[in-house]
Structure 1
Amino acid sequence: MVTLTEPPVAAVRRPGRLALLGTGLAALLLLGSAVHLTQGTANLDALDVLRLVFGGGTGDTTAIVVESRLPRLLAALVVGAALGVAGAVLQSVSRNILASPDTLAVNAGAHLAVVAVAAFGVSLPLLGATGVAFAGGLAAAVFVLALAGTGGTGIVRLVLAGTAIALALVSVTQVLLLLYAQETRGLFAWGEGSLEQNGLGGVRTLGPLVGLALAALLGMARRLDLIHVGEDHARTLGVHVGRVRFAAIALAVLLAAAAVTLAGPIGFVGLAAPALARLLAAVVPGLHRHTALIPFSAALGAALLLGADVLLRTIISPQRALEVPTGVVTTILGALFLVVLARTARITSATAEPPAAGARSGVSALRYRVVLGVLALAVVAVAVGAVLLGDAKLLLGDVVNWVTGQAGPIVTGVLDTRVPRVVAALLAGAALALGGALTQAVARNPLAEPGMIGVVGGAGLGAVTVITLVSGVGFWTLTGSAGLGAALAMALVFTVAARGGFTSERLVLIGFGVHAAAQALVTLLITLSDPWNETKALTWLGGSTYGRTFTHLVPMALALLLVVPVLVRMRRELDLLALDDETPRVLGVPVARSRLLLLSCAVLLTGAAVAGIGVLTFVGLVAPHAARAIVGSRHARLLPAAALLGAILVGAADTAGRTLIAPAQLPAGLMTAVIGAPYFVWLLYRHRATGRGR
C-alpha cells in the first residue's frame, strides 16, 4: 500500500513564513505576467507595455495588448487558479494526494461532453458549454471515486481507475473527432489545453463563476479541515460528511469544467499545485488549513500555468507557440513531478495481490484441452467472420475462389486488402496479450499492462516521431522506431522504480507518468508538423489495420516466433516470479536476469504490435485476466489461452470497427478501449470488494 501522507506541521509556529510565501508568490505572478505581456508575434518590449500601463501607449499597442495578450494572460491566471483549487479540494475529500481533475477523469469527461455537443451541431453560449462540461466531469469524478474509494488507501487504485475511465472517454472523443471531422475541426489541439483566446469575452463570463466557486469553498474551509483529518471526528463535531463532500466535489468539478470550457483540458496543474502546497506545509505552518491551502493552491496553479506558457514561448518562436497547446508543457512537467513523487513515496511491503492471487488454481487436463480447443475454434470463427464482413459482404465461396485463384477482380481486390488486415489484427492481439501477461507476472500487479506503464505510449511516440519528422518513411524504419520507443520507456520506468525500491505500486505510478508524458509529446509533434497529419496520426494512434499488407505482418510474426520458445522454456520461472523475489532465489532462479529477459520479450511483442497496427489499449490487461479466470494461473496454460483471447478481442474489435458504420471505419484500438474499459472497471470493483472483505 502506498502511504502518501500530508507532511506534519512544524512544532514551532513561525507565522511570518506564510506571509513571506504569499509575498513571494505574488511577486512571481507579477513578474511572470510582465514577461508574458512582452511575448508574442508583434514587436513589443517591456517599455511599450509600461507606457500603456501609465496611459502613454499608442493605439496599435493598446489593440495588441488588450485584444490578444491580456486575454491569454488572464486565461492562464483564471484557469491555473481554478485547477489548483479543484485539485486541492479533490485531494482533501478523497484523502488522496494523487486526486486531481486528471486522475479522476474530470478533464476527460468534460472534454467528451464539449466535443459531443460540437459534433452534433448544437450551438451553446459559453455558460451553457460550461454546464455541459460540468455534467460530464461530475459524472466521471463520481464514478472514479466510487471505484477507488475515499479512505485514503486507494492511491494506486484511484490512478488506475481514473486512467481506465479517461482512456475510455478519450477513445469515444477520438471516435467523434474522426466521424465529425468538419464539425470538430480544431478541437484536437484544444484537447490538450490551449490558452489562445478570442478577446476578453470568455474570461469576463467565466472569471466571476470561478470567483464565486472559490468563495464558496473558502466558506467550507473549516468543515474540509475536519473531513480531511477524519470522518468520525468530523461527524462528532456535527459535520454532515456526505453533504459537505458532495458539495465540495461539485464545486471542484465546476471549477475544472470552467477551465476546460475556457482553455481545454490542461493536464497536471490540478495535481502538481496542491501537492506542492501540501509539501510546503512542512516548513510553512498554517498552510495545511484550507483557509490558506485553497488560496495558495490557486496561486501556485496560476504560477505553474503562467510559467509553462512563458517557457513555451521562450523555447520556440511566438508564431509556433500559437500552434502548440500549453497543456502539453504542463503535462510533461506534471508527469515528471508525478514520477518524482512516486519515487520518493513511502510504500509498504504489502503490495497488491500478485496475478496468481484469487485466480483459479487450476483445471483438469481434459477441461484445459476442451477450453483451448473452444478458444481455437473461436479464433477461426472470428477470422472467417472478419474476412466475410466489412463494407462489402462476401460468401465462403468467394473466399474459396480467391484461394484457388478463380475469383473475379472485385472479390480479388476486396480480399487482397482485407485478409492482411484480419491476420494483422489476430497477430497484434496475441502479441499484446502475451506482453500483458509477462508484464503482470514480472510486476506482480494484476492491473498492470504495457499500455498503463508507458510501454505502448513509448512505442507510439517513437513511431509518431518518425511519421511526422521524416517524409516517406519506410515500414521497417517505423517498426524499429516503435520498438526503440517501447524499449526506452520500459527501461525508464523500471530503472526509476527500482531505484526508489521496486514495488508494483511504484511501477504503476511511474508508468502512468511516462504514459502521460509520451501522449503529450505525441500531441506536440502532431501540432508542430503538417496539419494534415492530424487525421492520419489520430487514425494510427487509434490502432488501425487500414492499409496493412502482408509485409506489415512480418515484425509481429517474427516477434512471436522468437518469444514463444523463450516462454515455453521459462514457464516455470514465470510462475515463481509472479509470487515474490525470495522463492525463485531459493530455488536457484536468477531473478534479475530472468526479469530482464522477460521484460525484453514484452517490449519486443509490444513494439512489434504497435508498429504493425498502431496503439491498442486494454488488450494486455483483459486477455490475461480472462485467461486466468478460465484456465488458472499456471503460465504453461495461461499464456496460450491469453494469446488466443487477445486475438479474438482485437479481431472482433477490428471487424466491428469496419462493419458498424460501413463504408466509414473506426480504428480497432478505439473499439478495444470501449470494450475493455467496462471489464477493467469490473476488475477494480471486484478488487475493492475483496479488500473490504478482508
Structure 2
Amino acid sequence: MGSASYSLYERRSKRRGITVLAILGALIVVTFIISVNTGYIRLGPLDLIRTLFGSGTDKQELILFEFRLPRIVISVLVGAGLAVSGCVMQGISRNALADPGILGINAGAGLMVMLFVAFYPATAAAPVFLLPLLSLLGAGLTALLIFTLAYKRHEGLSSTRLLLTGIAVAAGISAATIVLTLSLSPEKYQFVATWMAGSIWGSNWKFVLALLPWIFILLPFVFYKARVMNVLNLGDTTATGLGASVPREQLVLLAAAVGLAASCVSVSGGIGFVGLIGPHLARRLVGPKHQMLLPAAALVGSLLVIVSDTIGRWIIQPSEIAAGIIVAVLGAPYFLYLLARARS
C-alpha cells in the first residue's frame, strides 16, 4: 500500500470512527430520555421539559432531580469507567478475555467495601467519599498480587498466566466475601446482597460527586496514553525497540485501570462483563487503534449500563431487577462465544 493510499485509508477510518462515536452518543441521549421517563411514576415529555426548566410540581422535581437523574448519570459514568478499564487490561495483557471482573479486580474492591460495611456501626451514615478510596485500596492490593504472581522476569507478563491467576484470586476473594456475609445482620446482609447483584445503589448526587473526580482525571489520562497502548500491542520486544519502557507503562496503565474499576464498583456494586463486552463491540465498530477504540468503548459501556438499568426498572414494575443481572444475561453468552473462538 502506497503512502497516498495509506493516507486515504487513514482518513476514511478516522471519518468512520467519528461517525460511529456520534451515533453512539446519539443513542445514549435517546436512552437517557427514555430512562428518565421509565419508572412506576411516569413523566411525559411535556412534564419532563417543564420540570427541567423549573416549572414542574414538587413531586415531579423530587422524582426527576433526586431519584432518576443521579442514577442515570451514575449509570453513564460507571459504564464508561468499567469499559475503558477492561479495554486497558485487554491492551496491556494482549488477552481478549481480560476484564476487571474476571481478573478479580472488582472482587478485591468489593471485599474491602464488605469489610467496611461489616465493621462500620451505622451503614446508612457511612461517609460516601470514603468508599472509592476503600475500593481502590482493595482493588490495588488485588491487582498487585495478580501482577506479581503472573509476571516473570524473563518472560514478561504472560496473558494466559494473568488470566488464570486472576480467576484463581477472584475465586478466593469471592469465597472470603461469602464467609463474611454469614456474620452480617439482616439489614447489612440486604445491603450486601443488593451490592453483589450489581444494583446502581448509590443513586444520589453525593455518589455522583464522589465518582466524578476519578472519572474526569483517569479517563483523559488513559486517552492520552492511546499511542503508548498501540505500541504495547506490537509485543514487548518491538515496543522496547521503539523506545517504550514496557514494564513501567504496563504498571502505570494497570494502576489507571484499577482506579477506574474500583471507583465505579464502589457506587454500582458488582456489575460484571461491561469491561469485557464494551471493548469488543467497540473494536468491531472502530477497529483496534486506541485513539478511537478507547472513547468508543467508553460510549458502548455507558450505553450498555444505562440500557440495562432502564430495562431492570421497567420489566417488573414496581419492583426492579439489578442492572448487573441484566448485563450478566447479555454478557454470559458473549463470554462463552469468546471462549469458543479462543479454543478454535
The TM-score, its normalising length taken from structure 2, stands at: 0.92
Q: Displacement, 1:404? A: 1.5
- For residues 104-125 of structure 1, the C-alpha deviation after alignment (integer angstroms, 9 at most, x for no partner) is xxxxxxxxxxxxxxxxxxxxxx
Contact 2:201 2:269 in 1 (8 A): no
Task: Provide the C-alpha distance between the structure 1 equivalents of 2:171 and 2:12, rounded to a whole number of angstroms.
Answer: 39
Question: Does residue 367 of the first structure (1) align with residue 38 of the second (2)?
Answer: no
Question: Does residue 487 of the first structure (1) align with residue 140 of the second (2)?
Answer: yes
Task: Provide the C-alpha distance between the structure 2 equivalents of 1:582 and 1:505, rounded to a whole number of angstroms.
Answer: 18
Q: What is the aligned partner in structure 1 of residue 315 from structure 2?
A: 660
Letter in 1 for 2:257: A
Letter in 1 for 2:176: L
Contact 1:363 1:631 in 2 (8 A): no
Q: What is the aligned partner in structure 2 of residue 470 from structure 1?
A: 120
Question: Does residue 412 of the first structure (1) align with residue 61 of the second (2)?
Answer: yes
Question: Does residue 506 of the first structure (1) align with residue 161 of the second (2)?
Answer: yes
Letter in 1 for 2:137: L
Letter in 1 for 2:119: L
- For residues 39-61 of structure 1, the C-alpha deviation after alignment (integer angstroms, 9 at most, x for no partner) is xxxxxxxxxxxxxxxxxxxxxxx
From 182, 194, 199, the equivalent of 1:544 is 199
Alignment CA distance shift 1:664-1:593 (3 Å): same
Question: Does residue 454 of the first structure (1) align with residue 104 of the second (2)?
Answer: yes
Aligned residue for 1:557, secondary structure, equals helix
Q: What is the aligned partner in structure 2 of residue 393 from structure 1?
A: 42
Task: Provide the C-alpha distance between the structure 2 equivalents of 1:459 and 1:398, rounded to a whole number of angstroms.
Answer: 40
CA-based RMSD of the aligned residues comes to 1.6
Q: What is the aligned partner in structure 2 of residue 627 from structure 1?
A: 282
Task: Provide the C-alpha distance between the structure 2 equivalents of 1:457 and 1:362, rounded to a whole number of angstroms.
Answer: 42
Aligned residue for 1:441, secondary structure, equals helix
Aligned residue for 2:316, secondary structure, equals coil
Letter in 1 for 2:102: M
Listed as ranges, the matches of 1:229-308 within 5 Å are none
- For residues 126-156 of structure 1, the C-alpha deviation after alignment (integer angstroms, 9 at most, x for no partner) is xxxxxxxxxxxxxxxxxxxxxxxxxxxxxxx
Letter in 2 for 1:443: S
Letter in 1 for 2:288: S
The TM-score, its normalising length taken from structure 1, stands at: 0.46
Task: Provide the C-alpha distance between the structure 2 equivalents of 1:647 and 1:491, rounded to a whole number of angstroms.
Answer: 27
Q: What is the aligned partner in structure 1 of residue 273 from structure 2?
A: 618
- Bigger relative contact order, structure 1 or 2 (CA pairs below 8 A, ≥6 apart): 2
Task: Provide the C-alpha distance between the structure 2 equivalents of 1:604 and 1:369, rounded to a whole number of angstroms.
Answer: 27
Q: Displacement, 1:686? A: 2.8
Contact 1:482 1:608 in 2 (8 A): yes
Task: Provide the C-alpha distance between the structure 2 equivalents of 1:451 and 1:362, rounded to a whole number of angstroms.
Answer: 36
Task: Provide the C-alpha distance between the structure 2 equivalents of 1:364 and 1:667, rounded to a whole number of angstroms.
Answer: 37
Runs of 4 or more above 4 Å deviation: none
Contact 2:201 2:267 in 1 (8 A): no
From 85, 92, 107, the equivalent of 1:435 is 85
Letter in 2 for 1:520: A
Contact 1:622 1:676 in 2 (8 A): yes
Which structure 1 segments of 5+ residues have no match?
A: 1-360
Aligned residue for 1:589, secondary structure, equals coil
Total equivalences in the alignment: 329
Contact 2:82 2:260 in 1 (8 A): yes
Letter in 1 for 2:23: V
Letter in 2 for 1:498: Y
Aligned residue for 2:48, secondary structure, equals helix
Task: Provide the C-alpha distance between the structure 1 equivalents of 2:276 and 2:207, rounded to a whole number of angstroms.
Answer: 24
- For residues 252-306 of structure 1, the C-alpha deviation after alignment (integer angstroms, 9 at most, x for no partner) is xxxxxxxxxxxxxxxxxxxxxxxxxxxxxxxxxxxxxxxxxxxxxxxxxxxxxxx
Q: Displacement, 1:504? A: 0.7
Letter in 2 for 1:389: T
Task: Provide the C-alpha distance between the structure 2 equivalents of 1:544 and 1:375, rounded to a whole number of angstroms.
Answer: 24
Q: What is the aligned partner in structure 2 of residue 556 from structure 1?
A: 211
Contact 2:202 2:268 in 1 (8 A): no
Identity %: 35
Aligned residue for 2:186, secondary structure, equals coil
Aligned residue for 1:394, secondary structure, equals coil
Contact 1:556 1:605 in 2 (8 A): no
Which of the pair has more CA radius of gyration? 1
Task: Provide the C-alpha distance between the structure 2 equivalents of 1:577 and 1:554, rounded to a whole number of angstroms.
Answer: 34
Aligned residue for 1:475, secondary structure, equals coil
Q: What is the aligned partner in structure 1 of residue 292 from structure 2?
A: 637
- For residues 597-635 of structure 1, the C-alpha deviation after alignment (integer angstroms, 9 at most, x for no partner) is 101110110011011211110000000000001100000
Task: Provide the C-alpha distance between the structure 2 equivalents of 1:615 and 1:652, rounded to a whole number of angstroms.
Answer: 17
Question: Does residue 680 of the first structure (1) align with residue 330 of the second (2)?
Answer: no
Task: Provide the C-alpha distance between the structure 2 equivalents of 1:570 and 1:580, rounded to a whole number of angstroms.
Answer: 16
Aligned residue for 2:182, secondary structure, equals helix
Q: What is the aligned partner in structure 1 of residue 4 from structure 2?
A: none
Listed as ranges, the matches of 1:566-581 within 5 Å are 566-581=221-236
Task: Provide the C-alpha distance between the structure 1 equivalents of 2:225 and 2:130, rounded to a whole number of angstroms.
Answer: 31
Task: Provide the C-alpha distance between the structure 1 equivalents of 2:213 and 2:97, rounded to a whole number of angstroms.
Answer: 28
Q: Displacement, 1:546? A: 3.4
